[in-house]
């Protein structure tokens, strides 16, 4: 059984561990400063919020040193966390874990994704935890694995949320969510398509074209081209803007067709666009 490491008579600290965008430990009195090894230990336990064998944690975090030194390093880190934020980590001789009262923003973000199925409950506050990756400046393998997993999870959630918001007529929210997905991964076509479709649904034709153009240029600079599915959004046809979208879109403005063979489309002087149907 795990037991708290706090001193007798010392209450457990209500604490929050921040993993999205940066590392931070926030206690009742504000941010708590920790040295590197204490930060690594706490981050590992927060990324994997379950009891762990002490030996396994030592092996994972300090595999480059002998077992005895790894154990001493872990104990030093544990003692530092206990001094600065009592009860944030609990342990026994065999196991170690986060305290039950500790909140982790990554866990909250994953829970919030499950709440996005019904867009009626969407609020802008739900977007913030989906706007950052896990510990982006950390290079350790165990961090990279979790960072990639959450990155794909949040992108899938943002893309689907943008489409659902657009279907519900919440165009400003759909555009904001789609833009967040694009910012997270500018070369991801699904994210770019979600943003383009959100603009088209809102009647923002010039913004849709700009998002399309910038993606085509980005791909060209990387020696690649968009898929036929994305190129099909803007075919060289007088019937422009596009009808080949995943849902029926009735744009608020009409734009006369532009015929050109290159996939990029730009609005320019003399294009005939007057802003009226």
CATH number at 29 reads: 1.10.10.10
Give the model confidence (pLDDT) of 31-68 as tens digits.
Answer: 999 999 999 999 999 999 999 999 999 999 999 999 99
80 and 123 in a single domain? The answer is no
Query: Do 30 and 85 belong to one domain?
Result: yes
Give the model's pLDDT for residue 152: 96
Please write the tens of the pLDDT for every residue from 88-107.
999 998 999 999 999 999 99
**Co-location of 112 and 96 in the same domain:** no
Write the CATH number for 179.
Answer: 1.25.40
One domain, residues 87 and 18: yes
- pLDDT in the model for residue 2: 57
Q: Say if residue 130 is in the same domain as residue 184.
A: yes
Upstream peptide bond of 241 is cis (omega within 30 degrees of 0): yes
Which domain, by its residues, includes 182? 108-204
| pLDDT of 145 | 96
Cβ–Cβ < 8 Å for 57, 91: no
Structural domain includes residue 227: no
189-212: pLDDT as tens digits:
999 999 999 999 999 999 999 999
**What is the total count of domains within the chain?**
2
E strand residue ranges, the chain: 3-4, 16-18, 24-27, 30-31, 52-53, 89-91, 95-98, 103-104
Residues 55, 90, single domain; the answer is: yes
Mean pLDDT for all residues in the chain: 84
């Amino acid at each position: 059984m795990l037991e708290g490491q706090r001193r007798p008579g010392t209450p457990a600290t209500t604490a929050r561990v921040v993993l999205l965008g940066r590392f931070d430990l926030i206690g009742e009195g504000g941010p708590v400063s920790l040295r590197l090894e204490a930060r690594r230990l706490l981050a590992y336990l927060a990324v994997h919020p379950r009891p762990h064998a002490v030996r396994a944690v030592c092996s994972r975090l300090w595999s480059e040193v002998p077992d005895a030194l790894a154990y001493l390093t872990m104990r030093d880190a544990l003692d530092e966390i206990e001094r600065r934020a009592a009860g944030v980590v609990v342990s026994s001789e065999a196991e170690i874990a986060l305290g039950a009262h500790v909140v982790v923003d990554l866990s909250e973000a994953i829970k919030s994704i499950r709440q996005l199925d019904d867009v009626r409950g969407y609020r802008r506050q739900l977007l913030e935890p989906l706007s950052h990756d896990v510990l982006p400046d950390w290079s350790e393998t165990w961090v990279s694995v979790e960072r990639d997993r959450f990155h794909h999870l949040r992108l899938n959630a943002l893309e689907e949320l943008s489409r659902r918001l657009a279907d519900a007529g919440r165009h400003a929210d759909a555009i904001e969510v789609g833009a967040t997905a694009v910012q997270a991964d500018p070369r991801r076509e699904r994210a770019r398509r979600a943003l383009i479709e959100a603009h088209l649904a809102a009647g923002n034709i010039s913004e849709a074209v700009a998002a399309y153009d910038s993606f085509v240029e980005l791909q060209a600079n990387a020696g690649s081209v968009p898929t036929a599915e994305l190129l099909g959004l803007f075919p060289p046809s007088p019937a422009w803007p596009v009808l080949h979208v995943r849902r029926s879109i009735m744009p608020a403005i009409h734009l006369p067709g532009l015929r050109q063979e290159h996939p990029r489309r730009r609005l320019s002087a003399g294009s005939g666009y007057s802003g009226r149907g």
